[in-house]
Every structure is written in C-alpha cells, then in structure tokens.
Structure 1
Amino acid sequence: MAQNRKVEFLDSIHVSPPPGSVPTTSFPLTFLDMQWFFVGNVERLFFYQFPHPTSYFMENTLPTLKHSLSLALQNFFPYAANIMCPQQPGKPCIHYTDGDFVTFTIAESAADFNHVVANYPRDIKLLHPFVPQLPPSRVAEDGTRVLPVLAIQVTVFPDSGVCIGSTYNHIVGDGKSFMHFMSCWAASLNNSNSGDLTCLEHSPPSISRDVIKVSADMELRFLQSYWNWVSLFDKNSGPSHGTDTVEDKVRATFVLGRAHAERLKQLVSKDVESGQLHISTFVVACAFFWVCFIKSKESATKDSSHDHDDEVYAFAFPFDGRNRLESQVPATYFGNCLKPCLAKVKKSEIRGENGIVLAAKAIGNKIKEVESRGLRGAEHWFADHSEIDKRLCITTIAGSPKLKVYEIDFGWGRPCKVEMAHIDRDGGALALAECRDEQGGIEVGLALNKNHMDEFITVFEQNLKLISFE
C-alpha cells in the first residue's frame, strides 16, 4: 500500500446518500456563498481516544461509520454534490444527481498519537498526512467547471486513537452548517445499531436559499466578481489562496481560561460606559490574542521602529447573520450566512499598555455596528477586501467557540483535540474554539515560524500574568 510520512492508506471508497433517497436537485448560490470563491478549503481534524487495533476498527467500526455517513448525507446531500461553475453569463449552482458521493479514505498512522494531539509546538507538517485531498476539479463538455465539495479521511493510530479528517469547500456552507452535519453524522452512528434514526428528523437542515434576500443590482455585482474568478481559474489552472511557506513553521495551541476571560471583561468594562458595548468572551479573547500576535511578531522581526505609529492594524472576523439579518434566516439554515467584519486599531494604540482594552473596544464596536446595519453595504465587500491586502496589516480568525466542536461524539467520547489544519497557509490566522476542558474558556491554535512562536509564548505568558494581577 502507498506510504506517506508514516501513513499507510488502506482503502478509498465512495459514500453516497441511500440510492433513490435524494432526487436530482439544483439550487443557486447566494451572494453570501459566492464570496467564498476567493478563499481556500477548510481542513478540520477531530482526534479521539480509540484503544483498539486497526483490525478491530476495520471489522467493527468502519461498517457503521460508512452507513451512518450515508444516512447523514441524505439530509445534507449538498456535501455529496458538486459546485457547477459556468462561464459568463451562467450562474454558479450546487447540483446533485443520484449516485454523487463523498470520497472516504481509510488510513493507518505509526505516529505518536499523544504527540500529535499535544498543545506544545510541533512541526507544522505533522498534521498534513491526516488531511484528506479533495478530488480535482474537472471541466464538463459544455465548459462548466465542476468542483467537488467534501472529502473525509479516517486515520487509525493502532491501540491509541483515531482521527476523522475533513476537507470541504466553504462555498457550500459555513462552519455552522458543517458542524450541524457532523452532529447528525455522529448521532446517526450512535443510533444506527438500534434502528433509531429520529436524530436526523429533530433538526433537519434548511436547504432553501430563498430566505437570503438580495437586490438584482447586488447580485450582479457578485456575479461579475465570480465570472472574473472563473476566468482566472482557467488561466492559472486553479485559484491561489496563499503561498506562505510552511517549511519553518510550528503549530501550537493556547488556552485562555474562564477566570482570565472574566478578568479581561472587568478591565474592558472599566473603560466603557454602561450599555455602550457588549463585552463578550469572544470579544476579549480575540483582543487578547490579537495583541499577543502583533507584539510577538514585531519582536520576532526586530521591528522596534516608531516611525509608523499611524499604521493601521486590522482584525478580520466573520459575523453569523442567522436571525440577525433584515430577513429571518432560520438557525438551521444550510449555506453561508457570514458577513465579513474588520476592526481597526492604530499601531501606536495596540502596542501600548492599554492595547488589549482598545482592541476589545474596536472589535466590540464593529459587532455592534454590524448588528445594526445587517447586509447594507454588501456591494462594497469585494472592493473593501482588495483594499485590505494593500493597506493593512491584517490578522484573521477561523472557527468560532459557538461551533462547539468538542461536542461531536461518535461513541468514543468527546474529541481529545480538534485542529484546523488550513491555517498553516496564512501567516496571520488564529483558529478559535471553545476550551475542551473548561467551560467558558477559549482555545486558540496558531501556525507560526519558530522564531515568532517563541516570541508569542513569551508575550502570551507575560500578558496572562498582567491580567492575573489584582
């Protein structure tokens, strides 16, 4: 069998919804979906304790894992579908035909499971063998480019653990949609042996795109950007989503505990008038890690110059619009319902002693603004994004504590670690999740070059001590 960095590939199969369970279906992409044509795929890895040999997994676990995935895809069939990308004047859509499938790969790893799931810095390439590869795009006879949506890889670490790795195209749905799918897959596995599949009926996804209202003019603006993307894709044989080298990078996970988060809320509250700003754990945690990231990067690059104190730092994060937009979007909406947000702080402010408070105010004010504006101004999102790269030093986040990734239980207990592997392609990305071991805490994954990681650890520990001071 093929070998790849201590991984042996055992099998690769196609998993579809049950035959005849889903009719041929096509539905258009909304402008909220189309903005993700310009972003790379999402790679999320779920690691579980699994004290059994590979033979046990293949004989006892794999059959039910495949069967439950098929049942889950019956409800979440867009993940087995394809994204159809016609040239101008065609409109992109998601198209499902009976027999469409998810690529499902089974592998075995000789790596040390405890080292793989550790929080301390490890080589960035350590996780790469557990990330499934999406099948390549293809071009149909009419010139339409066809993009697969989801690939799954299950890697067994004999007698120690198992990893369920996923790579999916963000165009089909956001993190909330994907975690809804994972929850139903896990629930169907836990109940398939008993024949009780009501878990798939309690919270079905809302597939209809009709709830996303948009003017004809705005749709045309987004379609024009999409057509430009298709043209560039064909010229370049694929989109480019970042070329940041991973050769010298390491990955580590940091935890901001509940007590520290509450302390940060107190510090920010002292500087904000009552009721003026919603100070959440998300806001203060993002501010804390943003400041740590900026200060450690400057230290690592030996940039102590004060000549550019008016330089602007930006923090980009997604805002979930379900039940917060002008039109009512159900909580179970399947698709993308994220609005990009950008908080800005001057360099002189963010690296000052009050930097965390000012960063929290900037993020909190942006959230308040988005809540009041809804989707107004969406026609400028692409133009704003192009200016971001030119003018600003930007830090981005992936994931959210609200996704509750540590609640996905396939019958082996809660995950012992969840990673977002794709952040290693971005030099300024933070992967956020809820803390596995402490309610109210935040867990952040980072992929940095070794020098920057060393400095980040130092700054992180220093700032923890500062906010612990009473």
Structure 2
Amino acid sequence: MAPPISADAATVEAASVLVAATPVITPNEMVCKDAPAPAVSVVSKQAVRPVGASAVRDLKLSVSDMPMLSCHYIQKGLFFPPPGVPMASLVSSLVASLSRALDVFPALAGRLVTLHDDSIVIRYDDTAVEFYQAVAPALSLVDFLVPDADVPTTLTNGLFPMDRTVSYDGHSRPLTSFQLTVLGDGAVFVGFVANHAVVDGTSFWHFFNTWAGLCRGAPVREPDFRRNFFGDSTAVLRFPGGVGPTVTFDADAPLRERILHFSALAIRELKATANRWKRTGQDAEVNGKLVHDSKVQGDRGEISSFQSLCAHIWRAVTRSRRLLAADSTTTFRMAVNCRHRLRPAISPLYFGNAIQSIATTATVSELASNDLSWAAARLHATVVAHEDGAIRRAAAEWEAAPRCFPLGNPDGAALTMGSSPRFPMYDGNDFGWGRALAVRSGRANKFDGKMSAFPGQAGDGSVDVEVCLSPDTMACLLRDDEFLQNVSSPSP
C-alpha cells in the first residue's frame, strides 16, 4: 500500500466541517423531525484548488463539446475494499493527490464563461472543486452489489454530489465534484462528477487514472489541451437571457436498472456467430459493403466483440418492447471516439469531448426475421464508415444548425450505448489500496433504452452492461431465454 500523502493546507480550504457522526440536516428535516435519516450522509466538505498557478488559458468549447451543454454531469465511481488506514490519513491522501491532479488538469477547477460573441470557454480563475466526505454506517458492500437483482438506485444516488446538474450550469457551479463514502463494513466508494461539456469518457477516466496514480506515486500522462479538433469554428449556441437548456428527456420516468454480466466466453461465442458470414457468404448485400469497406479502410472487415454484443442486446430489447409495430424503425445509437479516426489523428490524450454519436437503424420485423450476424453486420458497417470524412461532414452539419444533443428515446424504439469496455476503469485506478471491486454510476442521463458498457472487474475480457429500461420492457427481457443464455451473474 502506498504511504498517505500529507495535505497541503495552502491548497485545501475547509468550506465546512461537521462532526463525523452527525449527518447534514436539510431544511425539510429540520421541519419534520420524524423524517428518516438518509442512508448516505455528508459529514464534511472541502474546497480543493490546484497546487500552483495555471498556465492554461481559456479553452474554447468545441463543436463536440457544445452539444453536451444540455446533458447532466457524468457521475461514475468505484467501490474499494477497506483501505486499512485511519480515516484522517485516507482523506488527507485523497485531497492532496486531488490538488496535484488538478494542477495537471487545471481546467477541471474552472468555470464556464460566455463571451461577448456567445462563444463559451472554460476559464480557470482561482476557483475550486468540492470534495465531500460521507458515511453510510448502516450499509455494506452487499447492500450495493446485489447479484441477479436491480441496482438499488435509491442507495447509489446518494454516492454522488451535484445530482442531476445540467452541464450549462457550469457557468455558476464547479465543473467537477468528488465524494468519498465510507460504508459500515469499512469499504469505500470514490465518486467523481464531471461536466459533460468539458470531458467525454476518455478524458474523464484519464483524470481518474491521474488522480489515483498520484496517490500511489505513479508517473503522469499529461493531457493535450490544444484545441485542434476541428480548428477555429465560429459556430455558437445562443441562450437568450443566460437561461440555459434543460435535459431533452423525462428524467423522472419510471425505470428499472440492471448490471448484466457477459463472460469472456459468452462474448467470444457471440463474436463467432456474428462473423459467420465470412464462412457462409450470407447476406451478400450488407456484407458485400463490409468487404468493400474493409479493403478501403485496411482490412477492418471483422465484426468486433463489442459490436456482436451490442447486436445481441439490440435484438433482445426490441423483442421485449412488445407494443412496437412490425414496421416501426428501431435505432441503435452509440458514441464513437474520433481521436484516432481523424486525419491527421489528434492526440489520444486530447482533453475534451472528441466523440460523435452514430446511429444504425432497422425495422422491428427486420431484426426479428434476421439473425445476430445480420444485425451485427449493420452495426459494423456504420462504425467502419465513420472515419475522417464522415466526422467532418457531421461537424459541418452541426455548425450549419447548432443545437444541443437530443439525448433520450422519444419514440420508444431507441437504444443508446454509452461508455466503453475499453475505458481503464479498473486498470490504473488503484489509489494504493488495491484493485477496485465494482464501478457504479448515478442517475445522470438515464432513460428507457440507455445503456453503459464497463469492463469486467476481473480484467479477463468480460463486460458488464448497465441497462436502463421501462419496467415492462425489463420484465420481458428478464424472461427472454435466448438473451439470458449469454448472461451470467454480474461481477463481482
């Protein structure tokens, strides 16, 4: 275990410190004395600043950043086993390494500022982030990591600050916040909340890795703050009167949430099934296009493991949406990382959003009458076609008609896959106490059909998929034997 790092009093300012055994009392609790105590209670809050002065100037939001202004802040974090160090040392170590990590990523300690021309920049001007310490003495890991059951969202929601904050609100609120929650069995949860107009998943986990690495003395991989994504775009989003956007979906619609675990063996079998066209030559029209694409783009004709898994989920969820008409168009949407797809490529450490959303469509009857390889081939064709030219066309279309990204499922027939099993959620996030036990998210940006893919905890190629569906659809999915034969108990 790495030795704890002493906190620097010059960089850590106590905003409020409460007695560790006393939960924060809200105004409603003061009025209603009989209200039950919250399962997770914040006991202290600190304002944390970077160690030194920032050399990073204003960072202009790019054409990939601005559409995310209507999205909630990203909320993700990790459960760890008991650290085995005194709590004061644990907090000191986390806060000091956080201050140093913010020195590497000073923009994350800034605010959004709208300039006179309506462009929006990230500005660091001696601002700070919030670090919360919370306790959940009546809870343990087994209350959160329940196998073969829905995620206990009433509990997990308490693990994150800034709940349901919209990214535009970064004009007046911190761009990031952090929360350490200590459970009754000594296990801890480290939660990180970040403005989605400032970071995508790649940048989010780059910072998380940096923070953990500094805590144990690992070398730093410096982010690339150059604004070289699409050059100097003049497109802006205007919000008259400074009234920002709201989320584009019903955040209060009823949902069920599950973590579904797909073993490495199950994923290999899905991939083998999806690539069956290589041997049989079936679906000539679709796969002929794939063969052409593979020649143009350097033999990228093989359908990937993740595309195969996505096709399996797409077909199953569509079957479970019993009220969809056979001729309804269903959409599978996923985010693609543009860093390596642009020509010339931009740095893999590019800081900000370098993603675009791509959509694959099929009718309900097409998905029902064709097999996994057909659906996977359609997804694959969409992905391999989204290279430099397609990325720049999509950016130009947005510049011609700027808007916030319409996240959600308005027609009840869409699926949206977020995150990635390639993100280093477990590898690189050892704070000195060992490997994390599980990743969990808050209720940000969740709606019927929203999914997020996480690497399996074992690091063996397995994948955990966080699935959010309407209650009726989830009930049908969990009775679908064809789907469930590839699902095993969620990890850990």
TM-score interval for Structure 1 and Structure 2 normalised by the shorter chain: 0.7 to 0.9
**Aligned pair 1:91/2:119, yes or no?**
yes
**Alignment match of 2:141 (pick from 103, 107, 113):** 113
Equivalence for 1:345: 362
Equivalence for 2:473: 452
Equivalence for 1:231: 240
- Of residues 388-397 and 373-382 in structure 1, the stretch that sits farther from structure 2 once superposed is 388-397
Structure 1 residue 265, shift from structure 2 partner: 1.6
Give the 3-state SS of the residue equivalent to 2:391 in structure 1: coil
**Distance verdict in 2 for CA 1:376–1:345, change over 3 Å:** same
Structure 1 residue 399, shift from structure 2 partner: 0.7
Provide the rounded CA distance (Å) in 1 between the counterparts of 2:477 and 2:167: 42
**Structure 1 segment 264-275 matched on structure 2, within 5 A:** 264-272=270-278, 275=291
Structure 1 residue 456, shift from structure 2 partner: 1.7
**Aligned pair 1:243/2:243, yes or no?**
no
Equivalence for 1:177: 203
**Distance verdict in 2 for CA 1:139–1:182, change over 3 Å:** closer
AA at the equivalent of 2:483 = N
Provide the rounded CA distance (Å) in 2 between the counterparts of 1:9 and 1:181: 24
Provide the rounded CA distance (Å) in 2 between the counterparts of 1:259 and 1:138: 39
Structure 1 residue 438, shift from structure 2 partner: 5.1
**Alignment match of 1:77 (pick from 106, 112, 119):** 106
AA at the equivalent of 2:436 = P
Q: Report the RMSD for the aligned CA atoms in angstroms.
A: 3.1
Give the 3-state SS of the residue equivalent to 1:379 in structure 2: helix
**Aligned pair 1:42/2:74, yes or no?**
yes
Provide the rounded CA distance (Å) in 2 between the counterparts of 1:135 and 1:294: 28
Deviations 1:219-246 (A, max 9, x none): 42xx1xx11xx23861xx7523432436
Provide the rounded CA distance (Å) in 2 between the counterparts of 1:387 and 1:252: 20
Provide the rounded CA distance (Å) in 1 between the counterparts of 2:341 and 2:165: 36
Equivalence for 2:30: none
Structure 1 residue 158, shift from structure 2 partner: 3.0
**Aligned pair 1:14/2:47, yes or no?**
yes
AA at the equivalent of 2:101 = A
**Distance verdict in 2 for CA 1:207–1:49, change over 3 Å:** same
Structure 1 residue 259, shift from structure 2 partner: 1.5
**Aligned pair 1:257/2:275, yes or no?**
no
**Distance verdict in 2 for CA 1:266–1:118, change over 3 Å:** same
Provide the rounded CA distance (Å) in 2 between the counterparts of 1:206 and 1:122: 36
Structure 1 residue 156, shift from structure 2 partner: 0.3
**Structure 1: which 5+ runs fail to align?**
192-197
**Alignment match of 2:422 (pick from 402, 405, 412):** 402
Equivalence for 2:129: 102
**Aligned pair 1:199/2:219, yes or no?**
yes
Deviations 1:114-143 (A, max 9, x none): 120234214432211111117979999xxx
**Distance verdict in 2 for CA 1:294–1:424, change over 3 Å:** farther
Structure 1 residue 74, shift from structure 2 partner: 0.3
**Distance verdict in 2 for CA 1:97–1:232, change over 3 Å:** closer
**Distance verdict in 2 for CA 1:281–1:423, change over 3 Å:** farther
Equivalence for 1:281: 305
**Structure 2: which 5+ runs fail to align?**
1-22, 26-36, 279-286, 295-300
**Alignment match of 2:327 (pick from 297, 302, 310):** 310
* Contact 1:433–1:442 under 8 Å retained in 2: yes
Equivalence for 2:447: 426
Q: Which has the higher helix share?
A: 1
Give the 3-state SS of the residue equivalent to 1:403 in structure 2: coil
Structure 1 residue 335, shift from structure 2 partner: 1.0
Provide the rounded CA distance (Å) in 1 between the counterparts of 2:353 and 2:242: 22
Structure 1 residue 67, shift from structure 2 partner: 0.3
**Distance verdict in 2 for CA 1:388–1:146, change over 3 Å:** closer
Structure 1 residue 57, shift from structure 2 partner: 4.3
- Of residues 32-41 and 271-280 in structure 1, the stretch that sits farther from structure 2 once superposed is 271-280
AA at the equivalent of 1:231 = P
AA at the equivalent of 1:293 = V
* Contact 1:80–1:102 under 8 Å retained in 2: yes
Equivalence for 2:92: 63
TM-score, normalized by length of structure 1?
A: 0.83
Equivalence for 2:438: 417
* Contact 1:171–1:336 under 8 Å retained in 2: yes
Give identity over the alignment, percent. Answer: 21
AA at the equivalent of 2:40 = V
Deviations 1:406-437 (A, max 9, x none): 22111222211101223673111011011112
* Contact 1:260–1:464 under 8 Å retained in 2: no
AA at the equivalent of 1:6 = A
